[in-house]
Amino acid sequence: MEIADYIVSDDKHLVELSLAGDQIAFEYLFNRYGDAIRRLFLQRYTSAEDTEDLLQETFIKVYINLHRYSSEFTFGQWVYTIARNTHVDFERRRQEDISIDEKFSSPAASTPSPEENLINQQQRSQIEHYIECLPEQYRQLFTMRFLEDYSYDEISEALRLPMGTVKTQIHRARERMCALIKKGGIK
């Protein structure tokens, strides 16, 4: 068979040739799918060295089990399934090699979980309700200081109030807020 014939042959024909003992046909199957399978492993954060080992292992399994290939699936799907299962087995073996301490220690999550998000939303909603219960003069100061992170100086300048007045009113706003929270929002 000419090289051009291998290049234009479909997967099914190359499988038939491989099963008949044609090594070049299998090499063309490997070349056709090798890069895609390599990317699959790399996307799963496998090291470059492990990726090459897994690629070899995958195609050894493909070669050994080629007689089991059924044309009801595309050859690519079949190879992908073998690759995925090979990666799962690799991860299991790797997990067995990890000590129990390493298995159960993990870095703290950098983002809140869905449950934490819900709790934060509920707390935020509750705080907003309590802020609405404050008198207007305290509401504005409390919002600027504790929600918008203004400094006392910035509040004094923005509202054109003396610093002593700002500190006193923020202190009173905070006391009222604490009282509202303790009473459950009832004035």
Is the same domain home to 65 and 152?
no
Whether 36 is in a domain gets the answer yes
Is the same domain home to 172 and 81?
no
Whether 109 is in a domain gets the answer no
pLDDT of residue 105: 58
Is the same domain home to 60 and 152?
no
pLDDT of residue 185: 46
Is the same domain home to 99 and 11?
yes
pLDDT of residue 186: 44
In order, the DSSP letters of 39-91 are HHHHHTT--HHHHHHHHHHHHHHHHHTGGG--TTS-HHHHHHHHHHHHHHHHH
| Host domain of residue 18 | 3-104
The C-alpha atoms of residue 163 and residue 104 are separated, in whole angstroms, by 52
Q: Which of 84, 104, 124 is the last residue of a domain?
A: 104
Is the same domain home to 96 and 137?
no
Is the same domain home to 91 and 43?
yes
What is the DSSP secondary structure assignment for residue 108, as one 8-state letter? P
pLDDT in tens, the chain (187 residues): 677 666 767 777 787 777 788 787 778 778 777 888 888 888 877 777 888 888 888 888 888 888 887 777 787 788 888 888 888 888 887 777 666 565 555 555 567 677 777 777 777 777 788 888 888 888 888 888 877 788 889 888 988 989 999 899 988 888 888 887 777 744 4
Q: Which of 72, 104, 136 is the last residue of a domain?
A: 104
Q: Which of 85, 104, 123 is the last residue of a domain?
A: 104
What is the DSSP secondary structure assignment for residue 170, as one 8-state letter? H
What is the DSSP secondary structure assignment for residue 97, as one 8-state letter? T
Sequence-ordered list of residues with C-beta below 8 angstroms from that of 86, at least 6 positions apart, any chain:
54, 57, 58, 61
CATH of the domain at 13: 1.10.1740.10
The C-alpha atoms of residue 126 and residue 143 are separated, in whole angstroms, by 14
Is the same domain home to 96 and 148?
no
Report how many domains make up the chain: 2
